[in-house]
């Protein structure tokens, strides 16, 4: 293995000010680049982010999935289905007569083959009312990523500030903050979110729609139980950093407390936070899915509506899958495997790729674990 590149030789760029932070990032990137799994993880995450950005420009409903049915009826889009024989038209899908809402995946994105590349997401196997898995996943990408990132980033910001203050000042401040952190760490996370969202069922933030306030509330509930983890990590790191020589030097040269905290202590304590953040961001959609799976009306929608978010979609499809299963005897039954496969896969893919990335990041940032 070649030695990590040090700072660019001074002969090449005369007069370049040394920038140790930039050099640190370069070194990290160099070490990360050598870890295939981490790079794959990073690639998938970036791909999903790109999808989310793309999805936000699509003309799909953003708050509720379009309902389709195979007959002309109010409140749903018409889609042609047939049970046997030749296809009556170009955009028609074959379904079994006892399960009119199960459209298997067409696995084709070309406009001629139709709009169900990943099959239908049936609400009730026998009622001809269903959703499009593909558009749900596509539309769900921006909601899921926005919810996940906003929770983790806000939690980390709060934890960073609180943890730095706690670790840097020590004494009574530290004691108080750490007891507060203990309190929040002792509350069962999911139950707290459940309570908060149920208690404020009718709560709407002025100026926001019902759905937007529910999403905000969900995020706030998660942030409240999440920041203490970061605060504890940061505090532990700050306790080490504040004893370093460069902090002493800064203090000796007359830097104020604020400057020392924000310019010297904090930047040197954030590395474990990045790792923890990338671990956590993947679990958010899974947790949301778990809540939705319990039959919990997270987003204040009516029972016929489905919110396009990966966790909720997956929970919805798993619930429906179980219902299909217990409703029919095996053999005569069609198992809509596409429902649970594709929605579950998105959750899994996102979580595992951020995990691989986080693991690579940890190896790159922590010299003790360096290979």
Partner 1 sequence: MQMWVYVVRRVALLVPVIIGVMTITFALITALGPIQQITSYFGPPPTHGQIHTYNPTIPCSVLNSSQTGTCANPLYTQYASKLGLNQPIFIQWGNYIYRSFTFQWGLVSNHSAEQQSYLAGLISGQPVATVLSWLLPYTLELAILALIIILLVAIPLGNLSAVYRNRPVDQASRVMSFSGFAFPGFLLATLIVLAAVLLLGTSTLIHTPWCPSGETALAELTGSWPSVQSPGSCAYPGAVAANFGYPAWLHLGVISHPTGFPTVDALIHGDGWLAVDSLLRMLLPALVIAFGSIAILLRFVRNSMLEVMNLDFVRTARAKGVPESTVIKRHAGRNSMNVTITVLGLTFAFFIGGFPIIEDVFQLNGVGLIITYAVLPNGEDFALIFGSTLLFTFLVVAANLIVDVLYAYLDPRVRLG
Judged by the rule CB under 8 A, the positions of this chain that interact with partner 1 are 37, 179-180, 182-183, 185-192, 194-196, 198-201, 282-283, 286, 289-290, 293-297, 311, 314-315, 318, 321-322, 325-326, 329-330, 340, 344, 347-348, 350-352, 355-356, 359, 368-369, 371
Closest approach of partner 1 to the CB of residue 109, in Å: 26
Residue pair 130/122 in contact (Cβ under 8 Å)? The answer is yes
Q: Which is nearer to partner 1, 92 or 220 (CB)?
A: 220
Closest approach of partner 1 to the CB of residue 189, in Å: 5
SS (H, E, C) 97-138: CCECCCCCCCCCCCHHHCCCCCCEEECCCCCCEEEEHHHHHH
Closest approach of partner 1 to the CB of residue 347, in Å: 5
Closest approach of partner 1 to the CB of residue 118, in Å: 16
Closest residue by Cα to residue 149 from 300, 28, 45, 29: 45
Closest approach of partner 1 to the CB of residue 283, in Å: 7
Q: What gap in Å lies between CA 355 and CA 8, rounded to an integer?
A: 32
Closest approach of partner 1 to the CB of residue 180, in Å: 7
Q: Which is nearer to partner 1, 68 or 229 (CB)?
A: 229
Closest approach of partner 1 to the CB of residue 157, in Å: 21
Residue pair 68/130 in contact (Cβ under 8 Å)? The answer is yes
Q: Which is nearer to partner 1, 265 or 284 (CB)?
A: 284
List, in sequence order, the alpha helices (H) in the chain: 20-33, 36-55, 133-169, 171-186, 189-199, 210-241, 245-252, 257-259, 266-269, 271-281, 283-293, 310-327, 337-365
Cα–Cα separations (whole angstroms), residue 348 to 297, 310, 322, 353: 23, 10, 20, 8
Q: What is the DSSP letter of 367?
A: G
**Is 69 in a helix, a strand, or coil?**
strand
Q: Which is nearer to partner 1, 27 or 34 (CB)?
A: 34
Q: Which is nearer to partner 1, 157 or 335 (CB)?
A: 335
Q: What gap in Å lies between CA 369 and CA 347, rounded to an integer?
A: 29
Q: What gap in Å lies between CA 190 and CA 186, rounded to an integer?
A: 12
Strand partners, 69: 78, 129
Closest approach of partner 1 to the CB of residue 290, in Å: 5
Q: Which is nearer to partner 1, 30 or 200 (CB)?
A: 200
Q: What gap in Å lies between CA 36 and CA 271, rounded to an integer?
A: 21
Q: Which is nearer to partner 1, 150 or 297 (CB)?
A: 297
Q: Which is nearer to partner 1, 77 or 366 (CB)?
A: 366
């Amino acid at each position: 293995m070649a030695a990590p590149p040090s700072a660019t030789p001074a002969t090449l760029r005369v007069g370049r000010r040394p920038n140790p932070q930039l050099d640190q990032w370069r070194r990290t990137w160099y070490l990360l680049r050598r870890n295939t799994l981490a790079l794959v993880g990073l690639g998938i995450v970036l791909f999903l982010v790109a999808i989310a950005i793309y999805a936000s420009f699509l003309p799909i409903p953003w708050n509720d999935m379009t309902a389709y049915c195979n007959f002309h009826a109010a409140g749903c889009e018409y889609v042609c289905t047939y049970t046997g024989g030749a296809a009556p038209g170009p955009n028609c899908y074959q379904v079994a007569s006892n399960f009119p809402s199960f459209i298997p995946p067409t696995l084709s994105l070309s406009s001629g083959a139709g709009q169900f590349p990943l099959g239908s997401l049936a609400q009730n196997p026998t009622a001809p009312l269903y959703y499009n898995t593909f558009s749900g996943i596509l539309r769900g990408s921006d909601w899921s990523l926005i919810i996940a990132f906003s929770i983790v980033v806000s939690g980390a910001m709060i934890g960073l500030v609180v943890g730095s203050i706690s670790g840097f000042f020590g004494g009574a401040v530290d004691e108080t903050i750490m007891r507060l952190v203990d309190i929040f760490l002792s509350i069962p996370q999911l139950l707290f979110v459940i309570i908060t969202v149920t208690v404020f069922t009718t709560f709407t933030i002025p100026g926001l729609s019902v759905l937007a306030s529910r999403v905000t509330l969900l995020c706030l509930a998660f942030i409240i139980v999440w920041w203490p983890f970061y605060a504890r990590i940061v505090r532990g790191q700050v306790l080490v950093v504040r004893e370093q020589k460069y902090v002493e030097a800064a203090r000796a040269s007359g830097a104020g407390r604020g400057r020392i905290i924000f310019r010297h202590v904090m930047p040197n304590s954030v590395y474990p936070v990045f790792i923890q953040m990338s671990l956590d961001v993947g679990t958010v959609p899974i947790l949301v899915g778990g809540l939705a799976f319990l039959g919990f009306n997270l987003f204040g929608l009516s029972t016929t509506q489905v919110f396009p978010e990966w966790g909720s979609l997956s929970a919805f499809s798993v619930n429906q899958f179980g219902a299909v299963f217990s409703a029919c005897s095996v053999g005569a039954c069609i198992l809509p495997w596409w429902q649970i496969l594709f929605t579950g896969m998105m959750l899994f893919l996102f979580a595992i790729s951020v995990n691989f990335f986080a693991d690579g990041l940890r190896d790159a940032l922590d010299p003790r674990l360096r290979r």
